[in-house]
Structure 1
Amino acid sequence: MNKSELIDAVVAKTGQTKKDTEQTLTALLDAITEAVAQGETVTFVGFGTFKPVERDAREGRNPATGETIMIAASRSPKFVPGKAFKEQVNGG
């Protein structure tokens, strides 16, 4: 499912206009992205949690040459599904 298909599904469930639904979804995604980028955790009980995760610097290998390289420390977004979401995906 892509963004426009998600918008169509929400429109079908809520009866709102497609334009209003698209604006709401875009605002929601922007707010989540901004919060996680600032180091905050965003939790939707039953659905899941979006949070930033710190990755330490580490040693890696260039697959083409086998040469050892240093991979810089970084921060990456992570999603952890909630219990109810996991149960529904698993048919429970």
Structure 2
Amino acid sequence: MSTTPTSINKTALGHLVAAQLGVSQRDGVRAVDAVLEVITRSITGGIGVAVSNFGAFVPVQRTARARRNPQTGGTVLVPARQEVRFRVSPRLRETVQAADPAVATIRKNPKSA
């Protein structure tokens, strides 16, 4: 009986990339690591990262604000912080809604001649 995973970790993603590209599993994992490192450094520096037909990682600065502690009823100051949001592209949203993994791709359609 075969079970379908509900999620894929970074190593498994690297192995899938390696199979797609026809390279070693080690190179696939290194490629995934490199892409994630560039995305992380960009977002940390306040620069958003957009991937066509996939989505965008957008850094968001949250301001400091006062909130109420539900246990004591007292006011607590929540400090300012930087967060990251992910905005799904319309193409990826449509692909996921189609729910057909056999034809799921975010590659651009070829231009007509």
TM (norm. structure 2) is 0.74
Shift of 1:70: 1.1
The alignment-based identity, stated in percent, is 34
Q: How do 1:40-55 residues align onto structure 2 when only pairs under 5 Å count?
A: 40-55=47-62
Bigger Cα Rg = 2
Question: 1:6 and 2:13 equivalent?
Answer: yes
Question: 1:58 and 2:65 equivalent?
Answer: yes
Partner of 1:89: 96
Residues in 2 aligned to 1:7 and 1:63: alpha-carbon distance in whole angstroms: 44
Following TM superposition, where does structure 1 have runs of at least 4 consecutive aligned residues deviating by more than 3 angstroms?
Answer: none
Instruction: Compare the two structures and name the one with the higher strand fraction.
Output: 1
Gaps of 5+ in 1: none
Partner of 1:21: 28
Shift of 1:71: 0.7
CA shift digits 1:67-91 (9 cap, x unpaired): 2111111111111111111111112
CA shift digits 1:41-61 (9 cap, x unpaired): 111110011121011111112
Shift of 1:32: 0.6
Residues in 1 aligned to 2:48 and 2:62: alpha-carbon distance in whole angstroms: 16
TM (norm. structure 1) is 0.89
Residues in 1 aligned to 2:42 and 2:87: alpha-carbon distance in whole angstroms: 16
Instruction: Compare the two structures and name the one with the higher helix fraction.
Output: 1
CA RMSD between the two structures: 1.4
Equivalent residue pairs, number: 92
Contact 2:59 2:84 in 1 (8 A): yes
Report SS of the residue matched to 1:66: coil
| Greater relative CO, 1 or 2 (CA 8 Å, sep 6+) | 1
